[in-house]
Amino acid sequence: MGRKLRLTKFKNLSLDDPFFDSLKEGYAEFPKWFARKAEDDLYVVDDDTELSGMIYLKMENGPVNDVAPPLPAGNWMKVGTLKIVGKGTKLGERVIKKIFDTALDKGATGIYVTVFEVHKQLIKLFKRYGFVEHGTKTTDNGVEHVLTRSLTDHDQDILARYPFMDFSGKNRWLLAVYPEYHTRLLPDSILNNEPQEIVQDVSHTNTIHKIYIGKLSLTRMKKGDAVLIYRTSDKKGPAHYRSVATSVCVVQETHSKKDFASVDDFLGYCLPHSVFDEAELRHMFATYGRLYTAKMTYNVAFNKRITRGKMIDEAGVPVQPRWDLKPLTKEAFDEIVQMGQINESIIIN
């Protein structure tokens, strides 16, 4: 088992765990604070033996006056305590994704986090996803940076705007994924009729970036385009009812085989965010004459899966051409997204 991000309570953790040593050193009041939070929920990152991360998220309504300058009135979600051991970018992505998922679920209008200067990688990670320097917070423990991210004012950059999407002037596509790969690629989008064991901790293994690899000419898709992920039939019934739209991604970039200087170049690019292991990727590179990749951000999973039948009958998606990589009209895409019952604020336009 790899490291998992899971929900628990403070009372289920031991303050004597060496993981907490640096937090006790950095914050004199940490043991008392920890004890007060006994019944509160938090996320931890661990494997079967070792704690390697914690994330405590807390809603604060109104202005935030203990930072300089104060934060204006709003529904702020504070990243109260955050520590991640190790340099895994995928783990950082999982944490960021969980922060955004929780903020949207709680109706936050903004997020803020306080970080000491020494945690440069953490600051860099937050800034990558649209957090900006706001000011400072000064306590007996020292001076921390205050980083904020608005959930109502949106950046033009795909990552700085994540998870929000703006498809004005962009194309919209349906992209097919076989069932055996779908749940590995998009754990949030597990279907109600799939056995839960396929994903040990649904959504918590998830990362923001995904790489789709195939023989389809993916370079038709351009940066910023919408991608409706379509899980093909599991053959347990007619595709009309068993094939479903599950989620929406945004294209970051596409490549063809010739863009990779070598198999090692290809491996370095694909391994961190693909469902395939090294042996599978090497086999693809050696044997596929046509080979394409699409790097995407995974922005939202549908709360209700939409069948192929509904897409044809209610959204007007034509049966032809084939449902592998298929252009969608804005009207059809919007109708499918609406049927998917996602948080309406996620798509800006």
Name the band, by pLDDT with cuts 50, 70 and 90, for residue 232: confident
Q: pLDDT tens digits, residue range 122-175? A: 899 999 999 999 999 998 888 999 999 999 999 999 999 999 999 999 999 999
pLDDT of residue 203: 39
- Domain count across the chain: 2
Residue 186 and residue 71 share a domain: no
251: pLDDT strictly greater than 70: yes
In a domain, 161, yes or no: no
In a domain, 321, yes or no: yes
Mean pLDDT lowest among 80-84, 205-209, 220-224, 337-341: 205-209
Q: What is the 3-state secondary structure (H, E, C) of the chain?
A: CCCEEEEEEHHHCCCCCHHHHHHHHHCCCHHHHHHHCCCCEEEEEECCCCEEEEEEEEEEECCECCCECCECCCEEEEEEEEEECCCCHHHHHHHHHHHHHHHHHCCCCEEEEEEECCCHHHHHHHHHCCCEEEEEEEECCEEEEEEEEECCCCCCCHHHHCCCECCCCCCEEEEEECHHHHHHHCHHHCCCCCCHHHCCCCCCCCCCEEEEEECCCHHHCCCCCEEEEEECCCCCCCHHHHCEEEEEEEEEEEEEHHHCCCHHHHHHHHHHHCCCCHHHHHHHHHHCCCCEEEEEEEEEEEEEEEEHHHHHHCCCCCCCCCCCEEEECHHHHHHHHHHCCCCHHHECC
257: pLDDT strictly greater than 50: yes
pLDDT of residue 267: 96
Residue 199 and residue 63 share a domain: no
pLDDT of residue 1: 47
In a domain, 262, yes or no: yes
Prediction pTM value: 0.87
pLDDT of residue 194: 41
The domain of 342 spans 172-346
Mean pLDDT lowest among 39-43, 140-144, 184-188, 189-193: 189-193
Burial of 343 (0-12, 13-18, 19+ CB in 10 A): middle
CA distance linking residue 14 with residue 133, whole number of Å: 33
Residue 224 and residue 87 share a domain: no
pLDDT of residue 234: 67
Residue 178 and residue 149 share a domain: no
In a domain, 160, yes or no: no
pLDDT of residue 202: 35
Name the band, by pLDDT with cuts 50, 70 and 90, for residue 261: very high
pLDDT of residue 196: 36
Name the band, by pLDDT with cuts 50, 70 and 90, for residue 238: low
In a domain, 159, yes or no: no
pLDDT of residue 109: 96
What is the percent of the chain where pLDDT is above 90? 61
Domain boundary among 153, 181, 202: 153
Residue 186 and residue 120 share a domain: no
Residue 126 and residue 8 share a domain: yes
68: pLDDT strictly greater than 50: yes
Domain boundary among 124, 153, 182: 153
Comparison of pLDDT for 170 and 22, the residue scoring more: 170
Residue 66 and residue 18 share a domain: yes
Residue 185 and residue 78 share a domain: no
Q: pLDDT tens digits, residue range 70-113? A: 999 999 999 988 888 865 557 788 889 889 988 998 999 999 99
Name the band, by pLDDT with cuts 50, 70 and 90, for residue 193: very low
In a domain, 162, yes or no: no
Residue 205 and residue 94 share a domain: no
Residue 188 and residue 330 share a domain: yes
Q: pLDDT tens digits, residue range 43-65? A: 888 877 788 888 999 999 989 99
Average pLDDT over residues 285-307: 93
Residue 300 and residue 237 share a domain: yes
Q: pLDDT tens digits, residue range 309-335? A: 999 999 999 999 889 999 999 999 999
The chain-wide mean pLDDT, for the chain, equals 87
Residue 323 and residue 191 share a domain: yes
What is the percent of the chain where pLDDT is above 70? 88
In a domain, 164, yes or no: no
The CATH number for 52's domain is 3.40.630.30
In a domain, 243, yes or no: yes
Domain boundary among 153, 184, 214: 153
